[in-house]
Amino acid sequence: MAKRHIQACAVAGFLNIFGDGWTWLVIREAFYGATRFSEFQRNTGIARNLLSQRLSMLVDEGILRRDDVGERGPRYEYRMTPKGEALFPVLVTMIQWSNEHVFGAGREPIRLLERNSMKQLKKVVPTTARGRVLHWPDVVAQPGPGADKAARMRILESPQGIDD
């Protein structure tokens, strides 16, 4: 991304890392087990200079780590850090929405199954502690401790917003 968002907003903070058309394909590859530059390149089709920039950015952000595993000269492997692995729920909700709403039933490119039961993953949705599914109207938004004045105003102006 050319320009970083400066809003104190969790969505903007996410987009400063992932707000382009390639970064999530790199993340997909890391989840699929790609570790080498050439694997990322072949499996995404991303141009080498862009891939190099995205991998460096993901290392700088602490989402991938880069290990030198070369015995004769440098050879790098990229692996997920815990911060990267924590993207798993985002990946799953993204895949589930895309399967259902972009491709549609019977045309899904991928299925995610639980390894033990070999059953398809349940839809990942917000729920109450007792398991009732929550929709957006069931939720209110409150400025967090990191909200600046603009973020606070935006949240409180929303019908979903409540004061802290």
Q: How many residues bind a copy of itself (CB under 8 A)?
A: 96
How big is the chain by its Cα radius of gyration, in Å? Answer: 19
Taking the complex as a whole, the smallest distance from the CB of residue 54 to a copy of itself amounts, in Å, to 12
For residue 65, give the H/E element and its range.
strand 64-68
Whose Cβ is closer to a copy of itself: residue 73's or residue 137's? Answer: 137
User: What does DSSP say about strands 64-68 and 76-80: parallel, antiparallel, or unpaired?
Assistant: antiparallel
Angle in degrees, CA 87, 57, 67, rounded to 5 = 85
Footprint on residues 99-138 left by a copy of itself (CB under 8 A): 99-103, 106-119, 121-129, 131, 134-138
Q: Binder to a copy of itself among 13, 65, 66, 79 (CB under 8 A)?
A: 13
Q: Binder to a copy of itself among 41, 52, 53, 93 (CB under 8 A)?
A: 93
Footprint on residues 48-77 left by a copy of itself (CB under 8 A): none
**Nearest-angstrom CA–CA distance, 80 and 8:** 26
Q: Is 140 among the residues that bind a copy of itself (CB under 8 A)? A: yes
Query: What are the structure tokens assigned to 148, written together?
Result: 């600046």
Whose Cβ is closer to a copy of itself: residue 73's or residue 106's? Answer: 106
DSSP state of 123: P
The residues, ordered by sequence, that sit 6+ positions from 8 with a Cβ below 8 Å of its Cβ are 146, 147, 148, 150, 151
Taking the complex as a whole, the smallest distance from the CB of residue 145 to a copy of itself amounts, in Å, to 6
Taking the complex as a whole, the smallest distance from the CB of residue 71 to a copy of itself amounts, in Å, to 23
| Token pair 């492997």: residue | 77
Query: What are the structure tokens assigned to 151, written together?
Result: 């973020």
Contact region for a copy of itself (CB under 8 A) — 23-31, 52-60, 69-77?
23-31
Q: Is 47 among the residues that bind a copy of itself (CB under 8 A)? A: no
| Residues facing 80 on adjacent strands | 64
Taking the complex as a whole, the smallest distance from the CB of residue 102 to a copy of itself amounts, in Å, to 4
